[in-house]
Amino acid sequence: MRYSLLAGGKRVRPMLCIAACELVGGDPLTAMPAACAVEMIHTMSLMHDDLPCMDNDDFRRGKPTNHIVYGEDVAVLAGDALLSFSFEHIATATEGVSSDRILRAIGELAKCIGSEGLVAGQVVDICSEGADVGLDHLEFIHLHKTAALLEGSVVLGAIMGGGSDEEIEKLRKFARSIGLLFQVVDDILDVTKSSEELGKTAGKDLVADKTTYPKLLGIEKSREFAEKLNKEAQEQLLEFDQLKAAPLIALANYIAYREN
Amino acid sequence: MRYSLLAGGKRVRPMLCIAACELVGGDPLTAMPAACAVEMIHTMSLMHDDLPCMDNDDFRRGKPTNHIVYGEDVAVLAGDALLSFSFEHIATATEGVSSDRILRAIGELAKCIGSEGLVAGQVVDICSEGADVGLDHLEFIHLHKTAALLEGSVVLGAIMGGGSDEEIEKLRKFARSIGLLFQVVDDILDVTKSSEELGKTAGKDLVADKTTYPKLLGIEKSREFAEKLNKEAQEQLLEFDQLKAAPLIALANYIAYREN
């Protein structure tokens, strides 16, 4: 559990969670357990996705994947334990938030993981390898596989921070846009950068014959689409205090212009 | 998810959950989402334990295991989705219970799954195959692999039913005893019944050279130990209303004297 959780990574989801909490006027400490929880979920999803029976990846965040080091059995179980611990941590370590709100956050987190979230995206993705897939289908995959947990991250932060339903909805839309943005950029990086630059195996999508934005739109149109998504995301933040929105704007730009 | 969850099974954990709720004077409906949740956890733990990288079992509850029907990738993911849905279901479907209590139940459930519960038991079990293991070590495995979720089941039922801390502690001890009881009986059945009678592969422990109670104590002493655990379990129920305790007493006897 520690090996994969502490292997580095960009920590985009915890940052989103804490930034959303502060945006709605909350104390960032109230969102800290939720921020850790979303990173645990992200990590466990990578551990399971990397398994030989799924993406069969032996290199992640610049290090051998969990099952390479500890074996497949332990990698499955450590992922399960991280998944349950994420809920335990929110339920027992969150301070200064009403039980009603913590419970709502737990429901939101759970929903973004399972058959309406991450898992839905991964299953459809697996079933689509080698298939002739259109843009709508690709968007379904990314909205679930990638955007769902980013959405969960900002929603949990906003819930812990005491955000209104209206604020939470705006942040939901923001997260869905940057979720797609994140994946479009990932697809572009996969075909334009080396394994060394990425810290993970490059060109995997081509090898697996996966449908990607560059494959459907070409690199240039994919870059334009990324710009459009970044703009749409930032429009959701216009009615918030711009000083407090600055970290989320910076994160959107970081996702849009990241190099690995 | 449906295939494995609805494949049958004894439903011992949901029954324990609802019986504990009623024992402390609660409305059984308040414990229904928790009862479903503990069965989901039990099912997902079986799905992952049955994987080729773990116990490699292709027959469970009289049917082909999940990965045989849907593939290993889907079996891993369906287990993950059941795990997260169990928390979602408790958080969103429980009615007539304070958020404080629901949150406490979620913390208890999470703890009995992860690195201090089911997963701890499974990891130590996997690492012990073929090793020379003593009674204490065997008890650690079963207290985590089997008793933890039975304990979680009664504790969740008692929390939802409004039980006092003292009542919850008695039910904890009851569950730990029947957890060991359950495993002692399982070990005995594995070497005394056929695959057909069990609805799962018999004699697996001998083939895998696993340490079991019959192996350490012999069949007769194992049966005596089972009797002792059943007696200890039922002693925890003496101070409760005996009419309301009847279902738990019956469940303990069912576990002690079951044939599959």
Q: Are the C-beta atoms of residues B161 and B18 closer than 8 Å to each other?
A: no
* Mean pLDDT computed over B238-250: 94
**Can you give the pLDDT at residue B157?**
98
Cβ within 8 Å, pair B71-A53: yes
**Can you give the pLDDT at residue A61?**
80
CATH code, domain carrying A71 = 1.10.600.10
**Can you give the pLDDT at residue A197?**
80
Cβ within 8 Å, pair A100-B99: yes
Would A77 be classed as within a structural domain? yes
Sort out which chain A residues have CB atoms less than 8 A from B98's CB and list them.
99
Distance between CA B242 and CA B222 in Å, rounded? 29
Cβ within 8 Å, pair A81-B111: no
**Can you give the pLDDT at residue A194?**
81
Would A52 be classed as within a structural domain? yes
Shortest CB distance from A74 goes to which of B81, B106, B123?
A: B123
**Can you give the pLDDT at residue A68?**
97
Shortest CB distance from A88 goes to which of B73, B80, B111?
A: B111
Distance between CA B32 and CA B21 in Å, rounded? 10
* Mean pLDDT computed over B55-77: 94
Would B5 be classed as within a structural domain? no
Nearest to B23 by CA among B180, B190, B239, B225: B239
Q: Are the C-beta atoms of residues B78 and B1 closer than 8 Å to each other?
A: yes
Would B104 be classed as within a structural domain? yes
Shortest CA distance from B47: residue in chain A: A76
pLDDT tens profile B128-152 = 877 888 999 999 999 999 999 999 9
* Mean pLDDT computed over B107-124: 97
Nearest CA-CA distance, residue B76 and chain A, Å: 8
Q: Are the C-beta atoms of residues B102 and A151 closer than 8 Å to each other?
A: no
Instruction: Name the average pLDDT for chain B.
Output: 94
pLDDT band at B21 (very low <50, low <70, confident <90, very high): very high
User: Hey, which residues does B63 pair with through a beta bridge?
Assistant: B60
Would B46 be classed as within a structural domain? yes
Cβ neighbours of residue A117 closer than 8 Å, sequence gap 6 or more: A111, A144, A148, A149, A152, B84
Cβ neighbours of residue A224 closer than 8 Å, sequence gap 6 or more: none
Cβ within 8 Å, pair B87-A81: no
Distance between CA A128 and CA A145 in Å, rounded? 13
**Can you give the pLDDT at residue B196?**
81
pLDDT band at B260 (very low <50, low <70, confident <90, very high): confident
Shortest CB distance from A110 goes to which of B48, B74, B85?
A: B85
Cβ within 8 Å, pair A88-B110: yes
**H runs (alpha helix) in A199-237:** 204-207, 213-217, 219-235
**Can you give the pLDDT at residue A208?**
72
Q: Are the C-beta atoms of residues B78 and A93 closer than 8 Å to each other?
A: no
Would A36 be classed as within a structural domain? yes
Shortest CB distance from A102 goes to which of B98, B103, B111?
A: B103
User: Is A40 part of the contact surface with chain B (CB cutoff 8 Å)?
Assistant: no
**Where are any strands of DSSP class E within chain A?**
59-60, 63-64
Question: Total domain count for chain B?
Answer: 1
Q: Are the C-beta atoms of residues B174 and B236 closer than 8 Å to each other?
A: yes
Print the domain residue range for B86: 11-257
pLDDT tens profile B173-195 = 999 999 999 899 989 999 888 87
Look at A28-42, A208-222, B37-51, B238-252 and tell me which has the smallest mean pLDDT. A208-222
Cβ neighbours of residue B230 closer than 8 Å, sequence gap 6 or more: B177, B178, B181, B252, B253, B255, B256
Sort out which chain A residues have CB atoms less than 8 A from B84's CB and list them.
83, 109-111, 113-114, 117, 119
Sort out which chain B residues have CB atoms less than 8 A from A88's CB and list them.
106-107, 110-111, 114
User: Is B99 part of the contact surface with chain A (CB cutoff 8 Å)?
Assistant: yes
User: Is B83 part of the contact surface with chain A (CB cutoff 8 Å)?
Assistant: yes
**Structure-block tokens of residue B47:** 């799905």
Distance between CA B122 and CA B119 in Å, rounded? 5
Cβ within 8 Å, pair A80-B113: yes
pLDDT band at B58 (very low <50, low <70, confident <90, very high): very high
**H runs (alpha helix) in A133-212:** 135-142, 148-160, 165-192, 195-198, 204-207
Cβ within 8 Å, pair A84-B114: yes
* Long-range pairs of B16-19 with CB within 8 A, sequence gap ≥ 24: B16/B150, B16/B153, B16/B154, B16/B157, B16/B175, B16/B248, B16/B251, B17/B153, B17/B154, B17/B156, B17/B157, B18/B157, B19/B154, B19/B157, B19/B247, B19/B248, B19/B251
pLDDT tens profile A178-227 = 999 989 998 999 988 887 887 777 777 777 777 889 999 999 999 999 99
Cβ within 8 Å, pair B80-A83: yes
pLDDT tens profile A46-61 = 999 999 999 899 998 8
User: Is A107 part of the contact surface with chain B (CB cutoff 8 Å)?
Assistant: yes
State whether residue B63 is helix, strand or coil.
Answer: strand
Shortest CB distance from B84 goes to which of A81, A83, A88?
A: A83
The dihedral through the CA atoms of B179, B184, B186, B189 has a sign that is: negative
Distance between CA B15 and CA B30 in Å, rounded? 13
A 10 A CB-CB count for A19 gives: 26
pLDDT band at B198 (very low <50, low <70, confident <90, very high): confident
Q: Count chain A–chain B contacts defined by CB atoms under 8 A.
A: 133
Look at B56-70, B170-184, B189-203 and tell me which has the smallest mean pLDDT. B189-203
State the pairing for strand pair A63-64/B63-64. Answer: unpaired
Distance between CA B28 and CA B34 in Å, rounded? 10
Would B3 be classed as within a structural domain? no
DSSP symbol at A147: I
Report how far apart the first and last C-alpha atoms of chain A are (Å, whole number). 24
Would A6 be classed as within a structural domain? no
ipTM of the complex: 0.92
**Structure-block tokens of residue B11:** 């439903």
Give the mean pLDDT per block of 10 residues along chain A (260 residues): 93 95 97 98 97 93 94 98 98 98 98 97 89 90 94 98 97 96 92 80 75 92 96 96 94 88
Cβ within 8 Å, pair B74-A113: no
